[in-house]
């Protein structure tokens, strides 16, 4: 007698969760303390982008592109970060 076998396939590391977290951090950087949240958002978005591209997950890549756009907007709207990278805010 043979027993039924069950195979579970789990897809790990899609990069979508990292993109969502980076997007939330970038929005927080736009609205509140940009010099804290925007660099963290950039790091998380970089990790998410690498994972999404490695696994060829189009949804993860899309969410991470959104996170990058929000991170750039957060960088542009933060006078402290602009001063750190050498651009004047005025």
If you write DSSP's letter for every residue of 30-85 in order, what string do you get?
A: HHS-HHHHHHHHHHHHHHHHHHHHHTT-HHHHHHHHHHHHHHHHHHHT-HHHHHHH
pLDDT score, position 80: 83
8, pLDDT greater than 80: no
Sketch the domain layout of the chain as residue ranges: 16-85
pLDDT score, position 16: 92
Q: How far apart are CA 29 and CA 51, in angstroms?
A: 23
pLDDT score, position 53: 94
pTM: 0.80
89, pLDDT greater than 60: no
pLDDT in tens, 28-79: 999 988 889 999 999 999 999 999 999 999 999 999 999 999 999 998 888 8
Task: Return the structure tokens found at 33.
Answer: 């303390």
């Amino acid at each position: 007698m043979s027993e039924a076998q069950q195979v579970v396939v789990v897809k790990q590391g899609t990069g979508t969760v990292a993109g969502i977290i980076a997007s939330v951090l970038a929005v927080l950087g736009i609205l509140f303390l940009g010099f804290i949240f925007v660099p963290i958002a950039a790091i998380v978005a970089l990790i998410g982008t690498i994972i999404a591209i490695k696994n060829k997950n189009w949804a993860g890549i899309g969410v991470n592109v959104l996170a990058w756009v929000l991170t750039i907007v957060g960088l542009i709207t933060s006078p402290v970060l602009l001063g750190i990278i050498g651009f004047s805010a005025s």
